[in-house]
Amino acid sequence: MAASTLTEVARLAGVSPATASRVLNGSARKPGKDIAERVRQAADSLGYIPNAQAQGLAKSSSGLIGLIVHDIADPYFAAIARGVQEAAREQRKMVLLATTGGGPAEEKEAVAAFAARRADSIVIAGSRSCRDEDRDGNTELAAELDRYCRNGGQVAVVGHPVVGATATEGYHVVKVPNQELARQLASGLAEGWDGDFVVVGGPEGLLTSDDRVRGFQEGLERAGRRPAEVLRTGFNRSGGYDAGLQLAARIKAARSGEAPAPRLCIFAVNDVMAIGAAAALRSEGLRIPRDAAIAGFDDIETLRDFRPALSTVRLPLEDIGRIATRSTGPGNHTEEAQGAAADGITGEVTLRRSTEAAA
Amino acid sequence: MAASTLTEVARLAGVSPATASRVLNGSARKPGKDIAERVRQAADSLGYIPNAQAQGLAKSSSGLIGLIVHDIADPYFAAIARGVQEAAREQRKMVLLATTGGGPAEEKEAVAAFAARRADSIVIAGSRSCRDEDRDGNTELAAELDRYCRNGGQVAVVGHPVVGATATEGYHVVKVPNQELARQLASGLAEGWDGDFVVVGGPEGLLTSDDRVRGFQEGLERAGRRPAEVLRTGFNRSGGYDAGLQLAARIKAARSGEAPAPRLCIFAVNDVMAIGAAAALRSEGLRIPRDAAIAGFDDIETLRDFRPALSTVRLPLEDIGRIATRSTGPGNHTEEAQGAAADGITGEVTLRRSTEAAA
DNA sequence: CTACTTCCGGAAAGCGCTTGCCAACTGAAA
DNA sequence: TTTCAGTTGGCAAGCGCTTTCCGGAAGTAG
């Protein structure tokens, strides 16, 4: 990597590196017109590209935003990533990507790596977990984040604060009203459904999943329905599929029984799981919503063309990414910025065909 | 950002920075056991994190891989990104993400930004374009890439070489047999379909799209069918949707005519477009495959649960990302690496229900 | 015990850029 | 003309790390 350097440009233009720096890489002081022109020409003719590492070192700031996701190929994260990317562009920064699979240990490593690169800010998009086996990992992650913040870094977390993090300066949480929205979803569903409800949740301790489960139960209770049974499974399509198989067996069994059991309404705590469950039911010859209703959460864009259209809760994922990123950026003390992050995000219950009562 | 520095660690351990560097950040020379231990302890107690920028400056290499995509929320790119990410992890590097929307001008900027950050390699995943209005952009992009390669950078392009790029050193192309596969798809479809074919393609000049269109026509020709009409539209869902509306109107018109026109088989040059087209047909009350058959390309994972299951061509997107990234990495001169990149990628025609003849 | 090789830490010179400070120069006010 | 403020370019000191080179210590052989 032997690109031309500022010094070379300066020499060619017959000025000092200081002057060249001032004209090329934005400084408060603007050198005289003619000199500036000479420098610019020299830079052009050499194809000069400033060395961002050196700049970063000198200015101690890197123009980098670190983004942590579980899996970039998951459309949920991909959508958030798009928002982050956009906000990064507004701030004229670049996005560093880390995918962790969701473990706090990997997340801690990612944070350390970002810190090493002196990323100006970090956005953490994956769900927090408070499972026992993650406790140590969480502690370490929290410590790493605290240190990062203490050194002046900005952190935004989507959904829940990192368990155990104590930093206040530069630590932002973008709240997502999962519980509230799940409650609304349950109300909405309860209105048009008299059968039983089953929840297909992620592993216990996954905060996002837990919130949604809890909210859903609350909603049912308020509607005067009995609480739903909760199946725990993986927080992804294949988890949904497994649960779906299980439920399919149950539905078939019930069907062959004496009393025609009322239909089941399945709430999978995210869209991808819901699609998995739907696929499983279908593979067992069941039809939606005829034999069972199903609802998800997130309203993933790519899945909107799925048929029967999936009832779900629309979450403005791109906005979430954007808002999280903005909250870490310069000017994050303005009213709007504060407001946007504090008010959190609003979603919208969206009932579609997959939960229609009339089959 | 005032993290502790190597010098501080060295001082605390009572050694010189040189020694500290040697023990902490892998060097050929390994200092004595006891000293190493002292240094490590000092580093630990200070919570030392090496400054990657400084390291990069000194070593002139950054441990960064730049990835250029059109849109990270597009599942096609997201899948490739996952592969890139994995390969990056193998190489213990981080991924810098740039989304460009597909224009060569933005791509050029991204390359420049990566060059400025001294990224060790760059992976370009978006389709190349040879449209007239992109000519200048392409030229500049090519120039930027050439310069980057000349300075020792490694570039991998997925699909097609960048139009006009002349660099040979460090310039890799991961070939994707779009044309060949589209031909096979046409053959496969022609076997079970006697109606007409229509191709829904992206804008003319988009190389990936053009290849697929061309291959498809070849396949039809070899099967003794007359060439398909080609509709040009956007290379995304909404383009597919628009084309779908148009075709729906046509199908309905034909249906009300005297002679019952044979059914149409629609080939959309990528899955997302196919889904869009399918949605449009459906919204017009048409059913697939009863009223029209439809096929896509890519076999996007998230879309596999779509019903009717979409006939398509399976592309190992994750592998593509991985192979592209590996081809730019260290040891890319080994046989396998060379082979993998040179042989390119293989895909597989996958016929599913969306093109079944019996409706 | 001397001569020669090995090994190991440390000093110091960068890597490419920014920026505080200084000196020189400008123009205006006195 | 002198004085003073206001500019403007350049010098040089870093930013935090790597790496070459060097001298001293230790090990081996003669």
Nearest residue in chain B measured CA to CA from A274: B305
| Res. B333: pLDDT tops 80 | no
Nearest to B329 by CA among B110, B87, B115, B149: B87
Running DSSP on this structure, what letter comes out for residue B129? B
Cis bond upstream, residue B50 (ω within 30): no
Q: What single string gives the DSSP state of each residue in A126-186?
A: SPPB--GGGHHHHHHHHHHHHHHHHTT-EEEEESSPPTT----TTEEEE---HHHHHHHHH
C-beta atoms of B72 and A62 within 8 A: no
CB closer than 7 A to strand D: which residues?
Answer: A 14-19, 29-32, 35, 54, 57-58, 60; B 2, 5-7, 17-18, 21-22, 24-25, 27, 48, 50-51, 54-55, 57-59
In a domain, B338, yes or no: no
What is the maximal distance between C-alpha atoms in chain A? Answer: 96
Tokens of A91: 């701030």
Measured between alpha carbons, how far is residue A316 from residues A118, A323, B98, B101 in Å? 30, 10, 22, 21
* Stretch 64-103 of chain A: residues touching chain B, C-beta under 8 Å: 67, 71-75, 78-79, 81-82, 85, 94-99
Nearest CA among A174, A232, A175, A172 for reference residue A202: A232
Whether B334 is in a domain gets the answer: no
Number of domains in chain B: 3
Does residue A131 lie in a domain region?
A: yes
Distances (CA, A) of A146 to A59, A64, A209, B184: 22, 19, 26, 56
What is d(CA A130, CA A132) in angstroms, rounded to the nearest whole number?
6
B75–A79 CB contact, under 8 Å: no
Query: Is residue A36 helix, strand or coil?
Result: helix
| Calpha distance A272→B81 (Å, rounded) | 19
∠ CA A137-A142-A148 to the nearest 5 degrees?
130
Q: How far is CA B126 from CA A146, A336, B74, B276, B302, in A?
A: 38, 35, 11, 20, 20
Distance to chain A for B236, nearest Cα, Å = 11
DSSP code for B310: P
Alpha-carbon gap, residue A143 to A167, rounded angstroms? 9
| Residues B113 and B239 occupy one common structural domain | no
A277 to A199, A306, B282: CA distances (angstroms): 11, 13, 23
Of the two residues B13 and B344, the one the predictor is more confident about is B13
DSSP state at residue A118: T
Q: B110 and B24, same structural domain?
A: no
The verdict on A18 touching B (C-beta cutoff 8 Å) is no
A338 occurs within a structural domain: no
Instruction: Note the pLDDT of residue A339.
Output: 56
Query: Residue A60: left (phi > 0), alpha (psi -120 to 50), or beta?
Result: left
How far is residue B72's CA from residue B59's CA, in Å, rounded to a whole number? 31
For range B6-11, the mean pLDDT: 91
pLDDT, one tens digit per residue, over B231-280 is: 999 999 999 999 999 999 999 888 776 666 678 999 999 999 999 999 99
- Judging contacts by C-beta atoms under 8 Å, the chain A residues touching residue B2 are 151-152
pLDDT at A253: 85
Q: What per-residue confidence (pLDDT) applies to A123?
A: 97
DSSP string, A260-308: -PPPEEEEESSHHHHHHHHHHHHHTT--TTTTEEEE-SB--GGGTT-SS
**Residue A97 to residue B79, Cβ atoms within 8 A:** no
Residues B42 and B80 in one domain: no
Half-sphere exposure of A206 (CA within 13 A, CB side): 20
B123 shares a domain with B46: no
Please give the pLDDT value at position B1: 43
Could you tell me if residue A341 is inside a domain? no
Same domain? B167 vs B254: no
| Nearest residue in chain B measured CA to CA from A281 | B305
Same domain, A134 and A163: yes
Which residue segment(s) compose the domain that B95 sits in?
62-176+319-328
Coil/strand/helix, residue A359: coil
Residue A216: per-residue pLDDT = 97
Contact B94 A97 (CB under 8 A): yes
A35 & A69 share domain: no
Amino acid, single-letter form, for residue A345: I
Q: Which CA distances in Å does B240 have to A191, A290, B248, B309? A: 36, 30, 12, 17
User: How does residue B343 score in pLDDT terms, banded at 50, 70 and 90?
Assistant: low
Instruction: Return the H-helix or E-strand segment holding A98.
Output: strand A94-99
What average pLDDT does range B55-69 have in this prediction?
93
Q: Report the Cα B151 to chain-centroid distance in Å.
A: 25
Instruction: Read off the pLDDT of residues B308-326 as tens digits, 9 standing for 90 and up.
Output: 999 999 999 999 999 999 9
Cross-chain CB nearest to B2 (options A73, A112, A152): A152
**Rg (Cα) of chain B, in Å, rounded?**
26
- Give yes or no: residues B142 and B288 share one domain: no
Report the distance from CA of residue A29 to the C1' of nucleotide C15 in Å, as an integer: 26
DSSP B203: S
Give me the CATH number covering residue B92: 3.40.50.2300
Average pLDDT along chain B: 90
Q: Are residues B168 and B259 in the same domain?
A: no
- Is residue B56 in some structural domain? no
* 10-residue averages of pLDDT along chain A (359 residues): 81 90 80 84 91 91 95 96 96 95 91 94 91 90 92 92 79 94 96 90 94 97 95 96 95 75 89 97 93 96 94 97 92 57 82 82
Sorted by sequence, the CB contacts under 8 Å of residue B40 that are 6+ apart come out as B23, B24
In terms of Cβ atoms closer than 10 Å to its own Cβ (0-12, 13-18, 19+), residue A175 is middle
Partner-chain contact A78 B73, CB within 8 Å: yes
Give the pLDDT band of residue B33 (cuts 50, 70, 90): confident
**What single DSSP character describes residue A95?**
E
List chain C nucleotides near protein: any atom < 7 Å from a Cβ: 8-12, 14-20
Alpha-carbon gap: A11 to the closest alpha carbon of chain B (Å)? 20
Q: Is residue A94 a contact partner of residue A119, using CB atoms and an 8 Å limit?
A: no
Specify whether A204 is located in the same domain as A254.
yes
pLDDT for res B80:
98
Report, in angstroms and rounded to the nearest whole number, the Rg of chain A calculated over CA atoms.
26
Question: A333 in a domain, yes or no?
Answer: no
The shortest C-alpha distance from B257 to chain A (Å) reads: 30
Sign of the alpha-carbon dihedral angle for A190, A192, A198, A202: negative
User: Within an 8 Å CB–CB cutoff, is residue B53 touching chain A?
Assistant: yes
Q: Which nucleotides of D are covered by protein (CB under 7 A)?
A: 8-12, 14-20
Q: Indicate if B31 and B116 belong to the same structural domain.
A: no
Of all residues in chain B, the percent with pLDDT exceeding 90 is 69
Tell me, yes or no, whether A185 and A309 share the same domain: yes
Domain assignment present for residue A336? The answer is: no
Q: What are the chain B neighbours of A116 within 8 Å (beta carbons)?
A: 49-52
Residue positions counted in chain B: 359
pLDDT exceeds cutoff 80 at B332 = no
| A positions 187-216 inside 8 Å of B (CB) | none
At residue A206, the pLDDT reads: 93
Quote the CA–CA distance of A182 and A306 in Å, as a whole number.
Answer: 21
Query: CA of B53 to nearest chain A CA: how many angstroms apart?
Result: 5
Closest CA to A85 of B67, B116, B51: B67
**C-beta of residue A43 within 8 angstroms of C-beta of residue A53:** no
Contact between B88 and B94 (Cβ < 8 Å): yes
